[in-house]
Amino acid sequence: MPKITKRLVEAAEVRDKDYIIFDSEIPGFGARILPSGKRSYLVQYRVGRKFRRMSLGLHGILTTEKARGEAIKVLGRVKDGEDPAGAREKARTELTVDDLGRRAIDEHAAHHCKPRTVDGYRYYLKAYIRDRIGHLRVSEIVRSDIAKLHHDLRFAPIQANRCLQFLSKAFNLAEVWGLRPDGTNPCRHVKKYPEKKRERYLSKEELARLGEALRQCEQEGIESQSAINALRLLIFTGCRLSEIMTLKWDYVDFEGMALHLPDSKTGAKTVHIGAPAIEVLSKIERLDENPWVITGKNPGAHLTDLQPPWRRIRKRAGIEDVRIHDLRHTFASTAVAAGQGLPMIGKLLGHSQVQTTARYAHLAADPVKAAANGVSSRIAVALNGTNGCSKPVSS
């Protein structure tokens, strides 16, 4: 066997089949000559009873001396008990963060989470995660990678927190699937950004302007009747947007004045509704072969996007800072003003946890404060010896 040199490799004849010229100085180091005329370097070694070959690179891109140095490094790792070729093969086939995210969605979320949650996971993976850390190997990800991603998304703190939540679930699954050792979730101890719950309620004057805007749009025919129907139902029921947009006629109980929803954010529930909501429902035209209350343009479909008409209607009403979800908050605040207690409001809104309804506790205190003020004022009048109209005259 000759010593492999640049001249030797370039002068080697091309045959019908590829063959290897091994080096005389470094056992296992060789040059492969292909029928196409291409030449490459490799190193061969034994692991147990098996021989492994590991490509080092093409001749011309990799110099002979560089290839020789790489071969020495590989053989050194083999001497230390490693299998460099096996490690490279594993790295090529190992899941990336993007692969893990898609598998977590397809094999777990799609079967255990609600469709909106699945859609959210897909959005976070595509919009925020894939381009930043999607290419990294699942086994190589460390906490600093996750912390950097979270920090880079500080301009959108809520989205950053949702990405962190999704990744934490995905890496928990990675442990279940044997892709990482137990207890190595890199999302642990990465602190979420604080999220301020927005509380926006429509005043009586704003509700009046919104009602007038809806009537004008209906009379002028400038917005779809389905959109107007959806907004009125949201106002009168306090339901979530998804609950109204996916409401079927089979769920509507006119006699019992209720909506029997088989699936909502908190599971199956019954929404008790008042006469105004019943009136809206009774005026909606039922379309043949369309089970949805809020129908879309396509046959048999429901309306899918209420945001464009809502933006136009709220602008006309002069309430451009009001979100659709704020209609639900307004329903709750109106219930508080009417003297309903927090447990009853929780039932009306379909809250599964007391803490969710507790955000309205400060509103519930307002009627009590007013009553306390009235009672104490009457007592003060009595203490001052007046009838409330004039001060007592000193003798």
Cα(184)–Cα(249) distance, rounded to whole angstroms? 49
Query: What pLDDT is stored for residue 213 in this prediction?
Result: 96
Residue 129 and residue 57 in one domain: no
CB atoms under 10 Å from CB of 329, counted, come to: 22
Confidence of residue 253 (pLDDT cuts 50, 70, 90): very high
Tell me which of 82, 116, 137 is where a domain ends: 82
CA atoms within 13 A on the CB side of 344: 11
Specify the 3-state DSSP secondary structure of 285: coil
| Contact assessment for residue 281 and residue 293, using Cβ atoms and an 8 Å cutoff | yes
Residue 160 and residue 220 in one domain: no
Query: Poorest-confidence range of 79-83, 178-182, 317-321, 350-354?
Result: 350-354
Give tens-digit pLDDT for 34-46: 999 999 999 999 8
Domain of 137, CATH number, reads 1.10.150
Tell me which of 47, 82, 117 is where a domain ends: 82
Residue 291 and residue 343 in one domain: yes
Which candidate, 149, 161, 158, places its Cα nearest to that of 98? Answer: 149
Above 80 in pLDDT, residue 15? yes
Give tens-digit pLDDT for 287-305: 989 999 999 999 999 999 9
Residue 225 and residue 350 in one domain: yes
Confidence of residue 49 (pLDDT cuts 50, 70, 90): confident
Query: What pLDDT is stored for residue 390 in this prediction?
Result: 45
Report the residue count for the chain.
395
Residue 256 and residue 333 in one domain: yes
The residue-averaged pLDDT of 264-269 equals 73
130: domain range?
97-176
Give tens-digit pLDDT for 170-216: 999 999 999 899 999 999 999 999 987 777 889 889 999 999 999 99
The DSSP code sequence of 42-78 is EEEEEETTEEEEEEEEEBTTB-HHHHHHHHHHHHHHH
- Residue 92 falls inside a structural domain: no
Domain of 77, CATH number, reads 3.30.160.390
Query: What pLDDT is stored for residue 394 in this prediction?
Result: 44
- Residue 194 falls inside a structural domain: no
- Residue 220 falls inside a structural domain: yes
Q: Phi and psi (nearest 5°) for 285?
A: -75, 130
The residue-averaged pLDDT of 133-150 equals 95
- Residue 316 falls inside a structural domain: yes
Confidence of residue 395 (pLDDT cuts 50, 70, 90): very low
Tell me which of 19, 51, 82 is where a domain ends: 82
| Contact assessment for residue 4 and residue 59, using Cβ atoms and an 8 Å cutoff | no
**Choice between 203 and 350, residue whose per-residue pLDDT is larger:** 203
Query: What pLDDT is stored for residue 356 in this prediction?
Result: 62
Residue 314 and residue 356 in one domain: yes
Residue 269: C-alpha distances to residues 27, 131, 261, 347 (Å): 74, 40, 5, 10
Residue 242 and residue 125 in one domain: no
- Residue 375 falls inside a structural domain: no
Domain of 305, CATH number, reads 1.10.443.10
Residue 208 and residue 349 in one domain: yes
Confidence of residue 64 (pLDDT cuts 50, 70, 90): very high
Percent of the chain with pLDDT over 70: 91
Above 80 in pLDDT, residue 364? no
Above 80 in pLDDT, residue 275? yes
Residue 102 and residue 169 in one domain: yes
- Across the chain, mean pLDDT equals 88
Residue 52 and residue 132 in one domain: no
Partners of residue 272 on adjacent β-strands = 258
Residue 167 and residue 223 in one domain: no
Percent of the chain with pLDDT over 90: 64
| Contact assessment for residue 199 and residue 359, using Cβ atoms and an 8 Å cutoff | yes
Residue 354 and residue 214 in one domain: yes
The domain tally of the chain equals 3
Confidence of residue 392 (pLDDT cuts 50, 70, 90): very low
Give tens-digit pLDDT for 80-103: 888 888 788 776 768 899 999 999
Query: What pLDDT is stored for residue 375 in this prediction?
Result: 79
- Residue 87 falls inside a structural domain: no
Residues 6+ apart with CB under 8 A from 35: 14, 15, 16, 17, 18
- Residue 288 falls inside a structural domain: yes
- Residue 198 falls inside a structural domain: no
Q: Phi and psi (nearest 5°) for 195?
A: -115, 120
